[in-house]
Structure 1
Amino acid sequence: MIEATHIVDGQPMAFRDSGGDDPVPVVLVHGMGGDGYTWDRLAGDLVGHGRRVIVPDLRGHGRSAHTASYEFAEFGKDIERLVDHLGVDRFDIVGHSLGGYASSLVAQWRPSAVRRLVIEESPLPISPGDPPPTITNRFPTVRELMHATTSALRHPRAVLAFDRSMTSSALAQFRTPNAEWWHALRRIEAETLVVVGGPSGMMDPTRLVAMSTGIAHCEVVTIPIGHSVHRDGYDRFEAAVVPFLMRG
């Protein structure tokens, strides 16, 4: 994997690129509090299958710059700018948690460019009319922040680089009804695989059903191991995701 940096929105965005002549690369997008190295096992397996793999560090993470703003749309736009910089006009994309949300935005905005979409354990925004989260009905992103903290013990490099100022912004955005995201699910043309971590994960079951029925070509697989399926249940994750990405 070749390490490189691209200037995005005036700030350096770090990424790694395996290179190769694969006409449809796979973009791997990490979750909040992590960095691109979380995908090393999957990246290695995909490269072994002849795939080109592109792994960015999102703004405020890893080797990428800290910024003044962390709107969810900006994470998606950063991915768009990166693939444009690399001259990639068609790609598969895999995203975990916040990265899954950003990947879903890219698939909504560029339906003809995203061939296959994998969303792993992405907390889903609330719909207009949904009850607000309460202390007795905790919002999933609280668990996401706890997961990021425990992950720090295992991956201190990532947590040292992580801009913690984004956490309050992320919580506020997930707690705000987002009718446009729900409406735009119908724009996704990509074959979509949603990987769910089961009861200890973060995907609200009711919203999961609404999302999976809102995307034209969507399948759901449950691997009951918690929020970080690709980390804690890699063999089962690989068995579901790699064949999906390798379909003819």
Structure 2
Amino acid sequence: MSGNGTRTVRTGGVRLVYRAWGAEAGRPIVLLHCLGEDGEDWRGPLISQLGADHPLYALDLRGHGESDWPGAYAMDDYRNDLLGFLDALGLDSVILVGHSFGSVVAYLFAQEHPERVDRLVLEETGAMRPLDPPQEVSAEPPPDAPPFDWEVKVQWTRQRNEPDPRWWDRLSAISAPTLLIGGGASSHLPQEDLALMADRIPNARHITIDGAGHLVHESRPLEFTTAVLTFLTE
């Protein structure tokens, strides 16, 4: 363990940094942050509440935080990193909680490895269908960009504009009970997309925390935590 409380694993030649919080026993939960953030983003009421009954693991995804910035950021890379992380820690099956970019990693993993996911929480997730008009992004980061590898944003935008059709088609392959949480009209994401995704995932429900915007777990931490706890204990 490092001086700042982080731990490290290596998988596929990439060093991944994570934080371990919570109980020593119980169903493990892996938390996946949004674009430009890192595992520290999850600190707050959710950690204190979930940690009473679950071991918690908050990753810095590749290209973020203290994890390696290898320059390769295909969604398959993130999915494979997550598999390697679980294998390295001996976690056969976990609850995945993802926000935005991290939620896409979570549900792509759940499509490919349904037996490794007990439950799935997707906060302000994106529907991976072609964008019209496509998004544009500069190859150079703006002065106020958060401290992560800007190349993640460049490659993510490319994949977001023209996603692999399987990512949408195979939502039906997700077998884990799934909760999709939207932030309502103040979010920049089309909220109807979350409802469409919930219709395609076999055992899913969609709730909205009105007025929360895109950062639901930050702007409405108690409501978000209550929603997740209720879902996990049903």
TM exceeding 0.5 = yes
Alpha-carbon separation, structure 1, partners of 2:22 and 2:86: 13
Question: Is residue 33 of structure 2 the alignment partner of residue 47 of structure 1?
Answer: no
| Deviation of 1:132 (Å) | 1.8
Alpha-carbon separation, structure 1, partners of 2:51 and 2:97: 15
**Secondary structure class of the residue paired with 2:15:** strand
Q: Return closer, same or farther for 1:28/1:17 CA change in 2, 3 Å cut-off.
A: same
Question: Is residue 83 of structure 2 the alignment partner of residue 97 of structure 1?
Answer: no
Q: Greater CA deviation, 95-104 or 217-226?
A: 217-226
**Aligned counterpart, 1:5:** 8
Matches within 5 A, 1:65-84: 65-84=68-87
> Contact conserved, 2:23 with 2:51, CA < 8 A, in 1?
no
Alpha-carbon separation, structure 2, partners of 1:19 and 1:212: 30
**Aligned counterpart, 2:221:** 234
| Deviation of 1:222 (Å) | 0.6
**Secondary structure class of the residue paired with 1:18:** strand
1:216-235 CA distance string (max 9 Å, x none): 11111111321110011111
Aligned length: 226
Alpha-carbon separation, structure 2, partners of 1:53 and 1:117: 14
Question: Is residue 176 of structure 2 the alignment partner of residue 176 of structure 1?
Answer: no
> Contact conserved, 1:124 with 1:174, CA < 8 A, in 2?
no
**Aligned counterpart, 1:245:** 232
Structure 1 segments unaligned to the other structure (5+ residues): 143-147, 153-158
Amino acid at match of 2:233: M
**Secondary structure class of the residue paired with 1:112:** helix
Structure 2 segments unaligned to the other structure (5+ residues): none
1:88-139 CA distance string (max 9 Å, x none): 1111000001000000011111112211100001222215xxx6226xxxx5
Question: Is residue 132 of structure 2 the alignment partner of residue 132 of structure 1?
Answer: yes
Alpha-carbon separation, structure 2, partners of 1:234 and 1:172: 32
Amino acid at match of 2:54: R
Alpha-carbon separation, structure 1, partners of 2:99 and 2:180: 10
> Contact conserved, 1:123 with 1:202, CA < 8 A, in 2?
no
| Deviation of 1:206 (Å) | 4.1
Matches within 5 A, 1:180-191: 180-191=166-177
Alpha-carbon separation, structure 2, partners of 1:229 and 1:205: 13
> Contact conserved, 2:22 with 2:47, CA < 8 A, in 1?
no
Alpha-carbon separation, structure 1, partners of 2:198 and 2:188: 15
> Contact conserved, 1:121 with 1:202, CA < 8 A, in 2?
no
RMSD of aligned C-alpha atoms?
2.4
Q: Greater CA deviation, 107-116 or 13-22?
A: 13-22
Amino acid at match of 2:80: K
Alpha-carbon separation, structure 2, partners of 1:46 and 1:19: 7
Question: Is residue 61 of structure 2 the alignment partner of residue 58 of structure 1?
Answer: yes
**Aligned counterpart, 1:198:** 184
Alpha-carbon separation, structure 2, partners of 1:76 and 1:221: 26
**Secondary structure class of the residue paired with 2:153:** helix
